[in-house]
Amino acid sequence: MQRMKSLLMIALTALPLAAAAQTFPAKPIKMIVPFGAGTVTDSAARLVADHIAKATGQAVIVDNRAGANGLLGTDAAAKSAPDGYTAFVGTQTTHAANPALFKTLPYNPLRDFVPVGPISRGALVLVALPSFPANDVSELVALAKKNPGKYTFGHSSSSARAGGELFKMLAQVDLRDVPYKSAPQVITDMLGGHVDLTWSDGFTAVSQIKAGKLKALGTTGSTRMAAAGVPTIAEQGVAGYELYGWTGLWLPAKTSPEIVNRYAEWVQAASKANAAAFANQGLEPFTLTPKEFASFQAAEVEKWARIVKAAGITPE
């Protein structure tokens, strides 16, 4: 009799949670993006937001909170109520690289969030001005070895910085890094002849390449990026070189598993449905379950820690 009462109490306790999950969402959702409008992260967030809005009939409002390498928006999301009405779309910068790049963070990427799933991933493109004396990676390596420290690469994100640092380590060359606050500033200075190279996201690089303003020397993925029209950096002699930027969706810690699972379904469906849109941006769909995404993120945190340490980057 006592066992039956206990089972009944458990069942009754679970009813409100099940009901809440079935009726969720009952009001508009806010989706925080820690980077500006028009960025790769913003584009991925809006594709997912549009899918959720169509699937639920509720508005999904994208809230861009750019600044401080993604720290401002990520911190705001971490401190949001875990009721499912605030989602967060971030990247390897916010949830893997920042712990190694900063001495202290206002948030903990593993403890303060529940991983839902990745959205997309994309290789970077190593680009230069059409007039740059190297036309491929092997020529760049030869130039850099002949002129140590002469050539520069601009970066405004952890991915672009890691792209250059990984290249320096594996190709055994000396390039000088030049930090910027935003990717458009890097491109502007490249076009003005103030910086020689950058590792750009495909979304930005492909448009500049098609316009004839920049040329691609190589890409950072394990396979070629059709839109860039060049071999990978590894194919061109830098063995072991592979680097991807990726986007994903998280919810604040302590969000119920029922709501996490609903988001996981939406994110996976949105990622697969937008394969063509991602391809136009030099990206590809990237889907994992919440559990798989958690393991992937933990491995990425360790990888970025190794890259930052090997590059001798001093945390800010």
Question: Do 157 and 267 sit in the same domain of this protein?
Answer: no
Question: Do 40 and 59 sit in the same domain of this protein?
Answer: yes
Residue 296 placed within a domain: yes
Query: Mapping DSSP to helix (H, G, I), strand (E, B) and coil, where does residue 169 land?
Result: helix
Question: Do 176 and 255 sit in the same domain of this protein?
Answer: no
C-alpha to C-alpha distance for 72 and 244, rounded to whole angstroms: 23
Question: Do 112 and 259 sit in the same domain of this protein?
Answer: yes
* CATH number of the domain within which 258 lies: 3.40.190.150
Give me the pLDDT at residue 119, please: 97
Give me the pLDDT at residue 67, please: 83
Which distant-in-sequence residues (6+ apart) come within 8 Å of 55 by Cβ? 266, 269
Closest listed residue to residue 62, CA positions, set 83, 23, 25, 32:
32
Report cis status (omega within 30 of 0) of the bond before 148. Answer: no
Question: Do 140 and 192 sit in the same domain of this protein?
Answer: yes
Closest listed residue to residue 164, CA positions, set 243, 221, 265, 88:
243
A 10 A CB-CB count for 124 gives: 29
* CATH number of the domain within which 203 lies: 3.40.190.10
pLDDT tens for the chain, 316 residues long, are 555 555 455 545 544 544 455 689 999 999 999 998 888 899 999 999 999 999 999 999 999 998 888 999 999 999 999 999 999 999 999 999 999 989 999 999 999 999 999 999 989 999 999 999 999 999 999 999 999 999 999 998 788 888 999 999 999 999 999 998 788 899 999 999 999 999 998 878 888 999 999 999 999 999 988 878 899 999 999 999 999 989 999 999 999 999 999 999 999 999 999 998 888 777 889 999 999 999 999 999 998 898 888 878 888 8
Number of domain units in the chain: 2
Residue 304 placed within a domain: yes
Task: Give the helix ranges, DSSP H, for 2-86.
Answer: 2-23, 40-56, 71-78
Give me the pLDDT at residue 228, please: 85
Of 185, 219, 253, which residue sits at a domain end?
219
End-to-end alpha carbon distance in the chain = 62
Question: Do 169 and 108 sit in the same domain of this protein?
Answer: no
Give me the pLDDT at residue 124, please: 94
Query: Mapping DSSP to helix (H, G, I), strand (E, B) and coil, where does residue 204 land?
Result: helix
Question: Do 32 and 88 sit in the same domain of this protein?
Answer: yes
**Domain assignment of residue 280, given as a range:** 2-21+28-121+245-311
Residue 173 placed within a domain: yes
